[in-house]
């Protein structure tokens, strides 16, 4: 059986690379440059914080770190949506990245919910 932790870590790393692919295709406008900087930070943060969550000192610490992952994924999603609405890129380029972002959001929201339920038991 595969190590699911590793799979999720790899998926987050791959997400960074997908977002970087978007960033590299953006035009050099003030808005695009600003969003690029934001997305560099917000898209790399989930992978890094997920790594920290794996070494959490307690269930509460784990939840807190996972909530940071979720927050940063949401920030990346908003940046991607702005890029999409501004029509900086062809739909196909960004829609697949938005789909992956949505899937990751769902995974981490569920994981946090599960971890919180374990606190009350």
Below-70 pLDDT ranges, the chain: 1-6, 121
Mean confidence (pLDDT) of the chain: 93
Cα–Cα distance, 98 to 8 (Å, whole number): 17
Residue 81 makes CB contacts below 8 A (sequence gap 6+) with 98
Proportion of the chain above pLDDT 70, given as a percent: 94
* 3-class secondary structure per residue, 52-95: HHCCCCCHHHHHHHHHHHHHHHHHHHHHHHHHHHHCCCCHHHHH
> What pLDDT, on the 0 to 100 scale, is given for residue 1?
43
Using CA atoms of 40, 43, 44, 49 in order, give the dihedral in degrees to the nearest 10.
Answer: 140
> What pLDDT, on the 0 to 100 scale, is given for residue 93?
80
């Amino acid at each position: 059986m595969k190590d699911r932790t590793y799979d999720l870590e790899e998926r987050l790393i791959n997400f960074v690379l997908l977002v970087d692919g978007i960033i590299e295709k953006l035009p050099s406008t003030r808005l695009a440059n600003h969003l690029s900087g934001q997305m560099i930070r917000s898209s790399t943060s989930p992978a890094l914080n997920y790594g920290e969550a794996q070494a959490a000192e307690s269930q509460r610490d784990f939840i807190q770190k996972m909530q940071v992952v979720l927050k940063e994924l949401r920030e990346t999603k908003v940046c991607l949506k702005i890029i999409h609405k501004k029509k900086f890129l062809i739909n196909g380029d960004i829609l697949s990245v938005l789909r992956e972002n949505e899937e990751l959001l769902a995974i981490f929201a569920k994981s946090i919910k599960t971890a919180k339920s374990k606190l009350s038991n």
